[in-house]
A and B are shown apart, each in its own frame.
Chain A
Amino acid sequence: MNAPAAAPARPLGGLATGLALVLVAVLIGLAAQRVTGPAAGPGGATAVAWNGHTTTVTVAAEGMRFHPDTVTVPAGDRLVIELVNRDARRHDLVLATGPRSAVVAGAATTRLEAGVIGGAVEGWCSLPGHRQAGMRLTITTAEGATAERAAAERAAADGTAAGQPAAGHTADGHDHPAVPPAAGAAFDAMAAPAAGFVARDAAAPAPPAGRLHRVDLRVREVQREVAPGVRQKLWTFNGTAPGPVLRGRVGDTFEITLSNDGSVDHGVDFHAGALAPDVPMRPIDPGQRLTYRFTATRAGIWMYHCSTMPMLLHIGNGMYGAVIIDPPALPAVDREYVLVQSELYLGADGAIGDLAKMRAETPDAVVFNGYAAQYAHRPLTATAGDRVRVWVLNAGPSRTSAFHVVGAQFDTVYREGRWELRPSGPGAAQVLDLAPAAGGFVETVLPAPGTYPFVSHVMVDAERGARGAIRAG
């Protein structure tokens, strides 16, 4: 808008200035990339001079694997990895030498400057459980034999310093001990909880009025005591494992709002509703929400659990709960309790559970309602002559439950949607056997005052904490 005469000279200068600023910004960005990148890190075992070549490879993350899972580059090359995430869930790529990519959402791509490669380098996805599930990548140099030896040495070094590569990670929840056996928290199945310990209320909730039940489920990462003196970082629905017990009648509609306040993606799967799983059970990223609506058309005690892979880890770390849909004309009883059995695979104290133990199915504890032997120390109560109904759901993730009450017989057994025994019949049952995810209830009348222990009659699990008691006054 100035005098036109001045115009021709200045725009060119301004144009040059503007473009120069962009160039400077790009150079600063590239320099910052180099400084924070791997090449500058003294920890890198690759004290190899750059030979002037850059190799760029594309690595896809798909189905909890890196494809390819081995990348071979000439020694001395600078390596750039284009990470393409073809999964719906998020992934990243972290190298043992330090470089780490951004966390990429599904269908997105990121670049990782892997630095100059002088020997074998291990890489993995640092999201919880993903490395253990097989998301590993090996970068080797073309000189095969020496590289393999280096890889073996590196693996040995990693083994002695468990979790070292991940030690620098700051993001909460992204740490996971690399080598489990020594890391498990100490657990004593016979220890008594502290005096102030309050057991989880096992009383079954009454079915709420109304036919539409709106429930907020917030995924939260919490520190919880799971056995006397043992704390774990649990992934929970609404802060407890098991999550809240929901209850309704046949025909009721549940509208669940799932919010992910955790640090990794989660989802939910309600067995109580029949629907196409693709959308409602999809994993959602931290900070997101989804609405999951189902109508309970069939009776039973149904499991719900996190639907995100690896499910073994998500269920094993606390993301499960029960929905009770009353059979029509369910008789009232004097006492009604809900017990959810699950296994504990302890990680380091205050850390999340150990996926390697989950895979080996070597639980440290097997528990009712999330805490080892809590009802042995704080028994459930009843009165002699009362009819007691106990709903049992086996959340697993992997072990069978055999629910038995010492000194009592079950005259009523309802298992997986079917009345197997009624009081009117001549027979009775001694055990309610439940595969993982199965559930039902039993009823008994406690004959006289006394303390009636209950266990999972898989005796090794009873020893591991799958026990409690009903005290009849």
Chain B
Amino acid sequence: MSDTPTGDTPTRGTPPRGTPPRGIPAGGTAPGGTGRAGWHRRAGLLPVGYLVALAGVALVHPFLPPWRWLAIHLLLLGAVTNAILIWSAHFTTAVLRAPAPEHRRGEAARLVLLNAGVAGVLAGGGTDRPAVGVAGAALVFAAVVAHLLWLAARLRAALPARFAITVHYYVAAAGALLAGVPVGAWMLVADDDSRPRLLLFHAHVNLLGWVTLTVLGTLLTLWPTILRTRMADGAPAAARRALPVAVSGLALLGAGVLAWWPVAGAAGVALVAVAAGLIARPAVRAARHKAPASFAGWSIAAAGGWLLVALGLDAWTLLAAPDADTAAGRFGVVLVPLLAGFVAQTLLGAMAYLLPVALGGGPAAVRDRAGRLDRSWAQRVAMANGALAVLVLPAPPYVRITTSLLILAALVQFLIPAVRILIAARRQP
């Protein structure tokens, strides 16, 4: 997405034809951007902060009984959900060609609400205080409802726009999360025989709905921008075709795991994979035209591969399990490629591209930040994905420890420059 103010990026190559005109969202703010840049500096701290906490949990996890739950929710509910709320609002404004926001009070209120809720869920779930967790989940739910209403209002107010489909993806994603959050809250309170099915529902709807739909919708424009090439012909059409496929797949999947009809669940997963494939085709064409040459590009490309791996494993898990209990127990097999391979890599890749640009400050500053976030990108991407491949294959325990340390190292290799950039941006005028 060419959200960079016009003239900021003489070195960033010709903007892709077919991406939204550059400079739209930032147009009104001062060059160097105390308004927009300041917002993204503060907002960018949110996902980065959760990722730092995640790295901390990874280091001390032998002493934390619920570390798995905590790590999953720090990543998804903490870092990813914050990033989605922040950046989907950003992209919505951009693709709908809405005027730059005069103030961000509504957005800030949504984020405050969300993070109060996240804190409640993490505290309640981590310390086994269901009431706190449920209250937190209610706040998260409210924040997402507000976000959904805001998206819908933007859609209604907008003139026809070529990439409005992206916002439709966001609406569908938010709808999915609204189904997933209450189920998660319910599982904090009750533990009965329906738990495995509820767990599968919660995980699938949130991961394949909220996260994956958002990613697929965003990549339509973000991917060619990261590659600095033109969007492949037919990409918007593919995205429009893929959305109903993905949504019906998700509905089938949700119903399939809730009623424990594994064939329906696997068929739903297959439909989601088909939707991902529809979107991947023009994306691959664009990449063939201009190969990725950055941390963002290769991370997201690898993430796409892991998504397909995870979907394959997921369908197999559902079909091979004799009952929902077993399927829920084996879902950990799907989580490693899905969370570390797809979600975390997409998040890090997207932030590595977006943060330098959003913080503004002129082309030199942007280039400097991008360079810092891209430092030794090939080593980081190769290391993380090689280690992930070992981790997904059956490996002896000590090998799992050493390779997961490498994945942690790759995360830290992103976090250190990211934190420094955010801190340095504050010192800038």
Contacts and interface: CB of A to CB of B under 8 A. Distances in A.
Nearest to B367: A1
Contacts of B190: 291
Contact of A29 (B380, B381, B400): B400
Interface string B393-413: 011111111110110000000
A422 B405 CA distance: 74
B124 to A, nearest CB: 14
Given A14-B377, A105-B329, A26 B403 contact: yes
Contact of A287 (B65, B330, B402): B65
A330 interface: no
Interface string B367-380: 10011001011111
B400 A15 contact: no
A290 B187 CA distance: 11
B299 to A, nearest CB: 12
Q: Interface on chain B toward A: helix, strand, loop, or mixed SS? A: helix
B396 A29 contact: yes
B46 interface: no
Interface residues of A, number: 41
A375 to B, nearest CB: 38
A278 B380 CA distance: 48
Question: Among B381, B382, B401, which residue has the most Cβ atoms of chain A within 10 A?
Answer: B382
Contacts of A25: 387, 390, 399, 402-403, 405-406
A22 interface: yes
Given A18-B383, A33-B396, A1 B378 contact: no
A281 to B, nearest CB: 11
Given A11-B293, A33-B397, A111-B396, A17 B329 contact: no
Contacts of B192: 279, 290-291, 293
A386 to B, nearest CB: 45
Contacts of B330: 107
A280 B193 contact: yes
Contacts of A14: 376-382
A106 B384 CA distance: 30
Interface in B20-71: 65
A107 B377 contact: no
B19 interface: no
Interface in A1-32: 1-2, 4, 7, 10-19, 21-22, 25-26, 28-30, 32
B294 interface: yes
Nearest to A8: B293
Interface string A31-43: 0110010000000
Interface string A279-313: 11000000101110100000000000000000000
A13 B383 CA distance: 12
B356 to A, nearest CB: 8
B329 A18 contact: no
A113 interface: yes
Contacts of B378: 10-15, 17-18
A90 to B, nearest CB: 12
Given A17-B376, A26-B403, A107 B326 contact: yes
Given A2-B371, A14-B376, A17-B376, A29 B382 contact: no
Interface residues of B, number: 40
A108 B329 contact: yes
B386 interface: yes
B398 A33 contact: yes
Question: Among A14, A25, A105, A106, which residue has the most Cβ atoms of chain B within 10 A?
Answer: A25
Interface string A46-65: 00000000000000000000
A274 interface: no
A22 B386 contact: yes
Contacts of A1: 12, 294, 356, 367, 370-371, 374
A109 B393 CA distance: 13
A102 B394 CA distance: 14
Given A26-B402, A287-B65, A21 B379 contact: yes
B255 to A, nearest CB: 21
B406 A22 contact: yes
Interface in B313-336: 326, 329-330
Given A14-B382, A32-B401, A105-B329, 6 more contacts: A18-B378, A18-B380, A19-B386, A21-B383, A25-B403, A280-B193
6 shortest interchain CB distances as A-B pairs: A14-B378, A18-B382, A29-B399, A279-B193, A18-B383, A22-B386
